[in-house]
Amino acid sequence: MSAALEVAERAIAAASGDDVQAFVHRERSGLARFAEHEVHQPTLIDNVIVQLTVVRDGRVGSSATNRISDEGLAAAAARAEQSAENAPADPGFPGLAGPGEMPEVAGYDDETAALSPEEQAVRARAAIDAAGALGVYGYFTSGVTELAVAGTNGLSAAQTLTDATALVLAGDAEVSGFASATSWRAGEVDPAAVAREAAEKAARTRGGGAIEPGRYRAVLEPYALSELLEYFSFDTFNGLGLLEERSAFSGRLGERLFDEKVSVSDEPLDPAGLPKAFDFEGSPRRPVPLIDRGVARGVVWDRASAARAGNGTETTGHAVPPEMRPYGAFPFALSVAPGAAASVDELAELVGDGIYVTRLHYLSVVHPREGVITGMTRDGTFRIRDGRVAEPLANLRFTVSVPQVLAEVPGLTRERKLVNRSDFYGERYPFGVVCPALATAAFTITGVGSSPGL
């Protein structure tokens, strides 16, 4: 039995109710952050959070603690019980997840789990040294995340994940470039190569100028596409969003909304991503087709939204942590099918005249139902002329309808990249998007920001 599962079993034994569930989330991690050429804000975390849920007469209460002594768990149990006593009965409560067969997944690597703070710092140093004269800003991080869930109804499951990410912005007052790499095997993350990619990109951004606002054809690197799809997924790939009619798929499932080259799914079991066996309710994770060759095919569900949907809808294993649950389920493992293009240069040829976008910044959903999202480009924006990546551009404000971006897609690359999408708020829960670069016929620029550089 894993240490986390042992804590979960002790926690449910400490509480009393018609049904009790404990979810244990343990993190051991190190993040060596650097700026200019120095490591700063190094953070080592060793923590465990126990989330207890108690059900009494249809009333649900919960509590959380990081005190895992018998006394600490008893106190948490008392608070969860008191919370249930004080809660009104919830007629929509679907019950706690019962025992089920969990999928076997990869996602744990001994070498990654064994990385010491010193070795994390050495990898950060490798990135710093590889960027040359430019300043480097970013981090190397690795960690071990243990998840376990146990219930008085017989539910019992545990998983241990590893992850490692190197992220580098290379730049000075006049240039900036970005790159990152992530994997559940630290050996596949080469911080020096990441830094070289960022520095090479930065060197090409000097003198970036403005362009007129308007609709452009564009190439989006995986860094940019992954973030755009993540924000689109908040409402559109979310079963609760579908029920609440804020999803762009509302009333349109089964319709051809996108270019037939576009297929997107959630692939939580794929070892090319950061695989996970069960969600935060203890339900087994399942792959879910979201867009199938341009057709709006599905959304992800948790237990509450699936029960509300009725008609035999079942959870797909996409519940989020309790504090985020009012917003619905979330696809933590987005995966975009590859295309036929051999490189981003080939995508630029398909675009002909347009813009090339490396990375996005500070996205916000403007109109969820229409899939309208705004944000900025940064750290590597270029003009595409005559089918080739040409002169650098300033950071550009875009305001796009994602369905329009995906409506005409001249191509996608064969090669895909796992892009880390965790900013490591709260407890560590590594997740990312596996995606290619994509060419689009419609990317709307609505303003011009600052020139490249820090």
| 82 touches other proteins (CB under 8 A) | no
| 423 touches other proteins (CB under 8 A) | yes
Token code pair at residue 308: 């509300």
Residue 283 beta carbon to other proteins: minimum distance, rounded to whole angstroms:
24
> Which is nearer to other proteins, 17 or 452 (by Cβ)?
452
| 201 touches other proteins (CB under 8 A) | no
* Window of 56-64, 96-104, 200-208, 372-380 that interacts with other proteins by CB under 8 A: 372-380
| 381 touches other proteins (CB under 8 A) | no
Query: In sequence order, what are the residues at sequence separation of 6 or more whose Cβ sits closer than 8 angstroms to the Cβ of residue 143?
Result: 27, 28, 29, 30, 45, 162, 163, 164, 428, 430
* Window of 74-82, 89-97, 187-195, 242-250 that interacts with other proteins by CB under 8 A: 242-250
| 244 touches other proteins (CB under 8 A) | yes
Quick one: which of 374, 381, 413, 420 contacts other proteins (CB under 8 A)? 374
| 404 touches other proteins (CB under 8 A) | yes
> Which is nearer to other proteins, 387 or 449 (by Cβ)?
449
Quick one: which of 23, 108, 139, 301 contacts other proteins (CB under 8 A)? 139
| 129 touches other proteins (CB under 8 A) | no
- Helices 3-14, 70-86: axis angle to 10 degrees equals 50
Site string for other proteins, 321-340 (x = CB under 8 A): -----x--------------
Instruction: Tell me the number of residues near other proteins by CB under 8 A.
Output: 59
> Which is nearer to other proteins, 172 or 415 (by Cβ)?
172
| 69 touches other proteins (CB under 8 A) | no
> Which is nearer to other proteins, 176 or 226 (by Cβ)?
176
> Which is nearer to other proteins, 35 or 74 (by Cβ)?
35
Quick one: which of 153, 183, 316, 395 contacts other proteins (CB under 8 A)? 395
| 289 touches other proteins (CB under 8 A) | no
| 353 touches other proteins (CB under 8 A) | no
| 369 touches other proteins (CB under 8 A) | yes
Restricted to residues 1-60, the positions that interact with other proteins (CB under 8 A) are 29, 31, 33, 35-36, 40-41, 43, 45, 47
Quick one: which of 28, 367, 385, 414 contacts other proteins (CB under 8 A)? 367
Residue 370 beta carbon to other proteins: minimum distance, rounded to whole angstroms:
7
Q: In three state form, how does the secondary structure of the chain look?
A: CCHHHHHHHHHHHHCCCCEEEEEEEEEEEEEEEEECCEEEEEEEEEEEEEEEEEEECCEEEEEEECCCCHHHHHHHHHHHHHHHHHCCCCCCCCCCCCCCCCCCCCCCCHHHHCCCHHHHHHHHHHHHHHCCCCEEEEEEEEEEEEEEEEECCCCEEEEEEEEEEEEEEEECCCCEEEEEEEECCHHHCCHHHHHHHHHHHHHCCCCCECCCCEEEEEEECHHHHHHHHHHHHHHHCEHHHHHCCCCCCCCCCCCECCCCCCCEEECCCCCCCCCCCECCCCCECCCEEEEECCEECCCECCHHHHHHHCCCCCCCCCCCCHHHHHHCCCCCCEEECCCCECCHHHHHHHHCCEEEEEEEEEEEEEECCCCEEEEEEEEEEEEEECCEEEEEECCEEEEEEHHHHCCCCCEEECCCEEEECCCCCCCCCCCEEEECCEEEEEEEEEEECCCCCC
Residue 387 beta carbon to other proteins: minimum distance, rounded to whole angstroms:
26
Q: How many residues does the chain have?
A: 454
413 close to 342: Cβ distance less than 8 angstroms: yes
Quick one: which of 225, 347, 365, 409 contacts other proteins (CB under 8 A)? 365
Quick one: which of 87, 372, 435, 441 contacts other proteins (CB under 8 A)? 372
Instruction: Tell which residue, 278, 284, 269, 273, has the closest CA to residue 430.
Output: 273
Restricted to residues 160-199, the positions that interact with other proteins (CB under 8 A) are 167-169, 171, 176
> Which is nearer to other proteins, 117 or 387 (by Cβ)?
117
| 116 touches other proteins (CB under 8 A) | no
419 close to 180: Cβ distance less than 8 angstroms: yes
Quick one: which of 112, 142, 381, 401 contacts other proteins (CB under 8 A)? 401
Interface residues with other proteins (CB under 8 A) are 29, 31, 33, 35-36, 40-41, 43, 45, 47, 135, 137-139, 141, 167-169, 171, 176, 244-246, 250-251, 326, 361-370, 372, 374-376, 378, 395, 397, 399-401, 404, 423-426, 428, 444, 446-450, 454
